[in-house]
Structure 1
Amino acid sequence: MTHNFGLYLTLELGDYYGSPSDSWPAGSWSASTEHVIPFFTIVVNELGADRAAHWFIAAEKAHKHVAAADQARDHQFGFAAHLNTEIGDDREPSLPCAAAWEAMKALYELVRRDAAADPSVLFNCAVLASGRKSGRTDQRLVAAPASA
């Protein structure tokens, strides 16, 4: 794949958090960040950048449902159930979709176990990174997280 998503995601995270070396050793990047970047990359490699961006937007919405249920101490259906609803018909029974699906669930589980991590920030940065083409951001995808 020619889309260098891992680099673009690191750049977007750097724009949000600052350089990881600027605040060493404590840093403002959460510990789970380095572990989830490969999972985000799997999603992009399997689905393509544009389709992956839509999955990341769906994941942000699913996270909001999970967080709202947690805050309300309401019945929790879980991230995977909400993600499935938000993705809708885009989840076909193919190997690429299965790999992307499992990567999404894994990265969310890692982020949820890290109290310093903010899933919203990671998903929004992933959307922006997915929209980068030759260093330029796709403006359609930039507007999407704001309307989510």
Structure 2
Amino acid sequence: MNLSLAEYVKRRNGVPLGNSDSLRNMLSRSLGAGKFSSFWQYWNPIWGYYLGKYVFKPLKFIFSTTLSLIITFVICGFIHDLVIMILKWKFTLLLTPWFFFMSLFVVLVDFAKIDYSKCPWILRATINILIITICLFLAYQVKI
């Protein structure tokens, strides 16, 4: 099924593209996700649409879904790092390893079937933020 960007965003945010409630819905749905992989289904749906369409799906023709997911996260992190390198005119990689670690958590949490969707929203948000923070901490340990 090939969704347009507008259809994809509406499915992820529950409101049409450009709606004033879009940011609020994205934050509420992503932070309140009951699995870390679900967090990424709601986070930044416009960026997610293009990563899915132009990076993840083509990679799945070559690699397994798991490896394609990890590579997509790494590419996403590198694009973020590339913008910073261009702005600072200095080579640095922090977001690439950060996104790599987050991809590992996505894979591991799904593999372990960890589901906290029945927990209150605030606990789900805390768990998701904690995972993101742990991954950032790990990225700082290997910062290039």
TM-score between both structures, scaled by the size of structure 2 = 0.35
Higher RCO, 1 vs 2 (CA within 8 Å, ≥6 residues apart): 1
TM-score between both structures, scaled by the size of structure 1 = 0.34
- Pick the structure with greater CA Rg: 2
